[in-house]
Amino acid sequence: MSQAVGTTLSLKDYLQQQQASEQLQSVLFSLTEACHSIHHALTKGALAGVLGAAGAENVQGEDQKKLDVIANDLIKDSLGKNPSVRGLASEEEPEIVACQTDGQYLVTFDPLDGSSNIDINSMVGTIFSILESRGEHAATEQDFLQPGRQQVAAGYVLYGPSTMLALSVGNGVVMFTLDPSNGDYLLTNNAVTIPEDAKEFAINMSNQRFWHPAMQRYIAELLEGAEGPRGKDFNMRWVAAMVADVHRILCRGGLFTYPWDSRKPDQAGKLRLMYEANPMGFLVEQAGGEVWTAAGKILDIQPEHIHQRVPVILGAKNEVLRCVEYHGNA
């Protein structure tokens, strides 16, 4: 659960308290400043003409929204000017973007997770991951292919009734709330933890018939409630934006999964390892939760390419491990 704080620290104060390097601080400031601009674009909505489709597909073969493109450009422009960024990779870009040859960090990001929710004024967010760069040369895709455990920082900005930043620099998870009057991110939760047990789960039930039998068994038992083998009732929640579903888990516990399904048997999953699973996995583990595929821990995966997909099971430790056990791999 999240613990509210009485004394409010700014993001800058917190990072200095954590002894983050000046270079890492500058990268995080570039990201959060861009997210402040995205916040403004979202709050204007139809008044600014930013809703609706962009009329193109991204590298994932998904229809882009206008705000997908706007958010991507805002973050790419902000990071591209930062002397500490050697390269960036975006879910919306087909290739990595090389920046400063002597930059110390690589950044991957999903500029607007859950963008299908934009036109109904529902929650969306920006997810990011920061890795150390290797050497002093123009960034290549190979430089980015580091297991999730090598992340030095990760987080997301959730655009909801208030705009919030969830962040880990490897010392637990904290949350900040954006003060829109001045652009400051102020610490509002300083001890985010995920309880080991849960009574909520998030999954897209419309795909049930396509899941692996082990996943069907696990979810069926949850749905049987107090009368079934689990002996208690569960609530199902589904926002259709990973950033919002994971935010709920960090705030009050639960389980989120987007499993493999048989419609595309050769595609490991829907979610992207580098842009979604690794940064969210870093946060969840730092908050005491577990993050797996059906076959192993996500943060241990050696990436093969920047747009790699994986199935995801994350959240409350005991629920995740039970689900994985049903697949025969816990």
CATH of the domain at 321: 3.40.190.80
- Same domain? 73 vs 173: yes
Residue 91 assigned ligand-binding role: yes
- Same domain? 170 vs 58: yes
Rounded to whole angstroms, the Cα distance separating 58 from 11 reads 32
- Same domain? 212 vs 317: yes
CATH number assigned to the domain comprising residue 91 = 3.30.540.10
Does the predicted model carry a pTM greater than 0.85? yes
**291 located within any domain:** yes
Residue 179 assigned ligand-binding role: no
Residue 26 assigned ligand-binding role: no
Rounded to whole angstroms, the Cα distance separating 58 from 168 reads 29
Q: Is the pLDDT of residue 46 over 90?
A: no
**50 located within any domain:** yes
Structural domain of 164: 11-189
**121 located within any domain:** yes
Q: Is the pLDDT of residue 52 over 70?
A: no
Decide which of 189, 210, 232 is a domain's last residue: 189
Residue 276 assigned ligand-binding role: yes
pLDDT tens column, 74-101:
999 999 999 999 999 999 999 999 999 9
Q: How many CA atoms lie within 13 A of 252 on its CB side?
A: 9
Residue 204 assigned ligand-binding role: yes
N- to C-terminal Cα separation, the chain:
25
- Same domain? 126 vs 213: no
- Same domain? 126 vs 152: yes
Rounded to whole angstroms, the Cα distance separating 312 from 98 reads 29
Q: Are 97 and 117 contacting, i.e. CB atoms less than 8 angstroms apart?
A: no
pLDDT tens column, 171-205:
999 999 999 889 999 999 999 999 999 999 999 99
Q: What is the total count of domains within the chain?
A: 2
**4 located within any domain:** no
- Same domain? 158 vs 214: no
Q: Is the pLDDT of residue 136 over 90?
A: no
Residue 115 assigned ligand-binding role: yes
Tell the burial category of 102 from Cβ atoms under 10 Å away from its Cβ (0-12, 13-18, 19+): exposed
Residue 110 assigned ligand-binding role: yes
Residue 270 assigned ligand-binding role: yes
Decide which of 154, 189, 224 is a domain's last residue: 189
Decide which of 169, 189, 209 is a domain's last residue: 189
pLDDT tens column, 233-275:
999 999 999 999 999 999 999 999 999 999 988 888 899 999 9
- Same domain? 311 vs 170: no
pLDDT tens column, 197-228:
999 999 999 999 999 999 999 999 999 999 99
Q: Which residue has the higher pLDDT, 276 or 119?
A: 276
